[in-house]
Amino acid sequence: MEEGDPTLRLRIFDLNCWAIRYLSKWRQERVRLIGDMLLQDSFDLVLLQEVWSEQDYSDLKEKLRGCYPFSHYFHSGVIGSGLCVFSRFPILDTLLYQYSLNGYPYMLQHGDWFCGKSVGLVVTKISGIIFNVYVTHLHAEYCREKDVYLPHRLVQAWELAQFIRHTSGAADVMLLGGDLNMHPGDVGIRLLRGWTGLRDAFTEAARFEGCEDGCTLIPNNRFTVKAELLPFPQGVRIDYILYKAISSVTVKCEELKTTTGTAPGMDIPFSDHEAVMVTLHIQRQGQAAGDNLSTTEPALVDVVTETRTEVVVGLRAAQQQRHSTGRMAALALLLLLLQAAAALGALAGLVAGQPFPKLSFSLLAFLAIGVLLLATGLHLFHTMEVKMLQGTEEQMRMALRVLRERPSDG
Amino acid sequence: MEEGDPTLRLRIFDLNCWAIRYLSKWRQERVRLIGDMLLQDSFDLVLLQEVWSEQDYSDLKEKLRGCYPFSHYFHSGVIGSGLCVFSRFPILDTLLYQYSLNGYPYMLQHGDWFCGKSVGLVVTKISGIIFNVYVTHLHAEYCREKDVYLPHRLVQAWELAQFIRHTSGAADVMLLGGDLNMHPGDVGIRLLRGWTGLRDAFTEAARFEGCEDGCTLIPNNRFTVKAELLPFPQGVRIDYILYKAISSVTVKCEELKTTTGTAPGMDIPFSDHEAVMVTLHIQRQGQAAGDNLSTTEPALVDVVTETRTEVVVGLRAAQQQRHSTGRMAALALLLLLLQAAAALGALAGLVAGQPFPKLSFSLLAFLAIGVLLLATGLHLFHTMEVKMLQGTEEQMRMALRVLRERPSDG
């Protein structure tokens, strides 16, 4: 691809790297393998997720300096966002948007809350065309049958779509890569695509090579949890590259490839996810893609309504938890006050003798203080959750109003 | 102002309402007064901050339904963002961006952390012109001589500028109103204005009426803390309305007014802040304002460098606090382990008799657990703080690189 060329061929690599320090198997070997492959097979843009160790990022950066001189790591949360981008072309600007909801701090076994899940934006200009490149990772789905995180993931999908819509005004092309933790037909994907007009590189690709149906989490990968994939013998597709031409530019997907359970020519995989590799063909003189919204408006109203229903279900659950944690805090406070009254009573000599053994009395007080602090913390957390779910629900209601009014407008 | 008119006269009202439930004096009376005035004196856009009680918002909404049929409250944090907008024209879309840093949760007397300080965006279309209206409230300055919150406020100013730049691509005019908690010459204001090209309505206004120098926190207001204003006998200007024309539209500030210590015709003020009222004159056929960045680039490099230096100072302090809280957590853990060893020793009969009084032994253990939990929490918090300051510092370094390279580019 040359500067000034009227047509542009852009190669993009996307992978959830599963590089969690101390927890992910063969992490350092796999990161080294990813770096080797990126050096050999030169891409224009590399979008990575779950690079949790900043040391791994620094190592990759050092290794790839010659081929991908520009890069950015998105910091967020306690551990980091895990998101980073390597680019052959100068990165002109970046912005990070942290999702307002991201699971629960007390679900330690599902560490999502600590990761500060976000969407990162990188702006780059290639042959005079401005690209807004988004990379993200949404909340994991731990149990598809009873998915308690669905409202949070839908709030994230909504915020992602809103962030993309609002920040892409000055761009010619937008690209989104990442682990969306949603199957292609899920309401969140339909919402994201409908609300932004993004196209799915997999369905648009002229040529395809890789796992059946483009799956990116497959039983054939030695690191995937086989039990989770039992209902899906071929695997699932949850990693995506999406794109949209905004101004007078056309974008076509020439080719999409995935790895197939191992790194090419090796016997270990890059990650528990398969990599997605896309070749886009970008032409300047083409017709503008136009506002995709108008063509799909009735369907879009349905999708937003469906999402809103799920968000309201989440809102009810959050309100209930706010209520029950508040009640628990109140009970703990009551117990403490009773103990204080009893202790004061004993001190003032109103009660004869020493009515309670000291040790269990003070243990009980400490227990009450512990419960009070914990329940108050949870109550505050669920209050925030309620507010964010309410806010999203209101935004969706406004979106529905605008969607319904639009035909009468113009 | 009529639909379709080639020139547009837009009246904007901005006020930090100081409406904290239980804490702010005469809150309900003042909110009622604000509502009455907004009904009498009809504005096009009303930008309010510190409306912490959603009940106050609902009351205002109900009261203003006829005159300002469109409104939005931005939910965020435990208490809320306090930000809301009332509009005579349909609100088409909204987006909230929560700042990544906002003070410390343990500074309870400075409640900023709990407020989830944010910038809210409201998109509206008036006579075919798209307005991006931003409303925000940055971290308060409690002590100007030793301002420990300066790095956090500068991160917020940077994120505000970045958010505005990235989201305004599709707008014709951008407007920002709010309590920025910075004086006109402060580095954060210079950064915000330089990095976005926003103009200050006060300095641009053809007519001015109000407090000297446009001050919005004045000793003459009965609710201001007089001691804080001792070094500034006239008061300080920390509430702003800023604007910028993006596409082929010109915007001029015809008039700026402030209240002067009391609500007009009354003997109590609306708030501890003065209201800022602006009349803008917007013309379609004008020349595009152009990219203001290019004209001020050398100065901009200096401002970004100055801000970056302050952010690095904050980074060093955060790293030190992360270190000391980590050490405290480690010591508490050590104490607990020693106690556990002693208790096990006593149980196993290795130590003759009962070496410690049970009560003080268990109290010490509870104390150690308390310190461990607290220090771990603080350590995690300061780790996040370090990451966000690092991330901002990196973004600023990138901005400086792009600014310095730009002349050689074109």
Q: What is the tens place of the pLDDT at every residue in A206-225?
A: 999 999 999 999 999 999 99
Closest Cα of chain B to A164: distance in Å? 9
Residues from chain B contacting residue A165 (CB–CB below 8 Å): 93
Query: Which of A91-100, B85-94, B99-108 shows the lowest per-residue confidence on average (mean pLDDT)?
Result: B99-108
Quick one: pLDDT band at residue B410, thresholds 50, 70, 90?
very low
Scan residues 49-78 of A and list those with Cβ closer than 8 Å to B.
Answer: 72-78
CB distance from B363 to chain A under 8 Å?
A: yes
**Residues forming a β-bridge with B258:** B276
Q: Which amino acid is at A66?
A: G
**Closest residue in chain B to residue A116, using alpha carbons only:** B384
Please tell me which residue of chain A has the smallest CA distance to B92.
A402
pLDDT average, residue stretch A366-393:
90
Q: Which residues of B touch A96 (CB under 8 A)?
A: 100, 391
**In the structure, what pLDDT confidence band is assigned to residue A409 with cuts at 50, 70 and 90?**
very low
Catalytic residues of B: 273
Report the length, in residues, of chain B: 410
- Determine the pLDDT at residue A57: 94
B304 to each of B158, B179, B388, how far by Cα in Å?
Answer: 9, 22, 17
Per residue in B170-227, pLDDT (tens digit) is: 899 999 999 999 999 999 999 999 999 999 999 999 999 999 999 999 999 999 998 8
Which H/E stretch holds residue B319?
helix B297-347
Q: B164 pLDDT exceeds 80?
A: yes
Count CB-CB contacts under 10 A for residue A177. Answer: 28
With residue B325 as reference, give the H or E element that holds it: helix B297-347
Question: Residues A292-298: what's their mean pLDDT?
Answer: 54
The DSSP letter of residue B213 is: G
DSSP-derived secondary structure for A357-407: -HHHHHHHHHHHHHHHHHHHHHHHHHHHHHHHHHHHHHHHHHHHHHHHHHH
A129-137 vs A173-179, strand pairing mode: parallel
Q: Which of A183, A410, A281, A100 is nearest to A193 (CA)?
A: A183
Find the Cα–Cα–Cα–Cα dihedral A400, A406, A407, B3, rounded to 10°.
150
Q: What pLDDT does B365 receive?
A: 87
Contact A98 B95 (CB under 8 A): no
Task: Give the minimum alpha-carbon distance from B128 to chain A in angstroms, rounded to a whole number.
Answer: 12
**Whole-model pTM?**
0.89
pLDDT at residue A71 is higher than 90:
yes
3-state class (DSSP) for residue A243: strand
Question: Given this model, what pLDDT does residue A287 score?
Answer: 52
- State the pLDDT at residue B351: 58
Question: Percent of chain A, pLDDT > 70?
Answer: 92
How would residue B358 be classed by pLDDT, with cut points 50, 70 and 90?
confident
User: Is A364 in the B-facing interface, judged by CB distances under 8 Å?
Assistant: no
Other beta carbons less than 10 A from residue B50's beta carbon: 24
Question: Inter-chain contact A390–B362, Cβ cutoff 8 Å?
Answer: no
Strand order through the sheet with B199-200: B91-98, B118-126, B129-137, B173-179, B239-245, B199-200
Q: What share of chain A is helix, strand, coil (3-state, %, to 5)?
A: 45, 20, 35
pLDDT at position A312 over 80: yes
* pLDDT at position B402: 87
For residues A72 and A91, is the Cβ–Cβ distance under 8 A? Answer: yes
Chain B partners of A75 at a C-beta cutoff of 8 Å?
387-388, 390-391, 394
CB distance A229 to A237 below 8 Å:
no
Tell me if A387 and B171 make a contact (CB, 8 A cut-off): no
Chain B residues with CB under 8 Å of A166 CB are 93, 95, 121, 166-167
Q: In whole angstroms, what separates CA A289 from the centre of its chain?
A: 27
Cα–Cα distance, B252 to A306 (Å, whole number): 45
Reference B154, options B274, B315, B301; nearest CA is: B315
**Least-confidence region, from A250-254, A389-393, B87-91, B271-275:** A389-393
Residue of B105, B102, B111 lying closest to B139 (CA atoms): B102
How many Cβ atoms from other residues are within 10 Å of residue A226's Cβ?
Answer: 9
Mean pLDDT on A311-329: 95
- Do residues B133 and B124 make contact, with C-beta atoms less than 8 angstroms apart? yes
Residue numbers in A near B410 (CB within 8 A): none
Contact check, Cβ <8 Å, A387/B77:
yes
Amino acid identity, residue B167? T
| pLDDT the model gives residue A408 | 44
Pairing of strands A207-209, A250-258: parallel
pLDDT, mean of residues A63-79? 89
**CB contact B82 to A (< 8 Å):** no
Question: Mean pLDDT, to the nearest integer, of B100-126?
Answer: 84
* Cα nearest neighbour of B116 on chain A: A384
Strands (E) located in A20-53 = 45-51
The CA distance from B342 to the nearest CA of chain A, in Å, is: 19
B121–A contact, CB cutoff 8 A = yes
Q: In this model, does residue B387 exceed pLDDT 50?
A: yes
Beta carbons of B33 and B59 less than 8 angstroms apart: no
Q: How confident is the model at residue A109 (pLDDT cuts 50, 70, 90)?
A: confident
Query: Distance, in angstroms, between A100 CA and closest chain B CA?
Result: 8
Nearest-CA neighbor of B138 among B121, B147, B150?
Answer: B150
Residue B350 has pLDDT above 80, yes or no: no
Compute the distance between CA of residue A309 and CA of residue A47 in angstroms, rounded to an integer: 33
CB pairs under 8 A between A and B: 105
Residues of A recognised as catalytic: 273
Q: How far is A44 from chain B, CA to nearest CA, in Å?
A: 20
For the cut 60, the answer to whether the pLDDT of residue B286 exceeds it is no
Q: Is the confidence at residue B5, as pLDDT, over 60?
A: no
The two three-digit tokens of residue B410, written as one number: 């074109």
Q: B352 falls in which pLDDT band (50, 70, 90)? A: low
pLDDT score of B355: 61
Task: Find out whether A28 and A34 touch, Cβ atoms under 8 Å.
Answer: no
Q: Which residue has the higher pLDDT, A317 or B147?
A: A317
Chain B hits for A74, CB-CB cut-off 8 Å, are: 391
pLDDT at A106: 77
Task: Please write the tens of the pLDDT for every residue from A32-56.
Answer: 999 999 999 989 999 999 999 889 9
For A79, name the nearest residue in chain B, comparing CA atoms only.
B384
Return residues 151-180 of A near B (CB < 8 Å).
Answer: 162-163, 165-171
Q: Give the pLDDT confidence of B34-63 residue by residue, as tens digits.
A: 999 999 998 999 999 999 988 999 999 999
Of A93-97, A386-390, B297-301, give the lowest mean pLDDT range. Answer: B297-301
Separation in Å, CA of A147 to nearest CA in chain B: 25
Residue A337 structure tokens: 């006050």
Q: Which pLDDT does position A407 carry in this prediction? A: 57
A388 touches chain B (CB under 8 A): yes
User: pLDDT at residue A295 above 50?
Assistant: no
Backbone angles phi, psi at B29, to 5 degrees: -60, -45
- How far apart are the CA of B270 and the nearest CA of chain A, in angstroms? 27
What is the DSSP pairing of strand B84-87 with strand B45-51? antiparallel
Q: Report, as an integer, the average pLDDT of A229-253.
A: 93
pLDDT at A351: 58
Task: For A395, name the nearest residue in chain B, comparing CA atoms only.
Answer: B94
Contacts of B120 in chain A (CB under 8 A): none
The C-alpha angle with vertex A149 and arms to A25 and B84, in degrees rounded to 5, equals 125
Asked whether residue A3 carries a pLDDT value surpassing 60, the answer given is no
B167 → closest Cβ in A166, A383, A388: A166
End-to-end alpha-carbon separation of chain A, Å? 42
Give Cα separations from A126 to A123, A173, A251, A274, B105 (angstroms): 10, 11, 14, 27, 44
Tokens matching residue B219 = 């000793």
Cβ contact (<8 Å) for B398 and A97?
A: no
Where residue A345 falls among pLDDT bands split at 50, 70, 90? confident
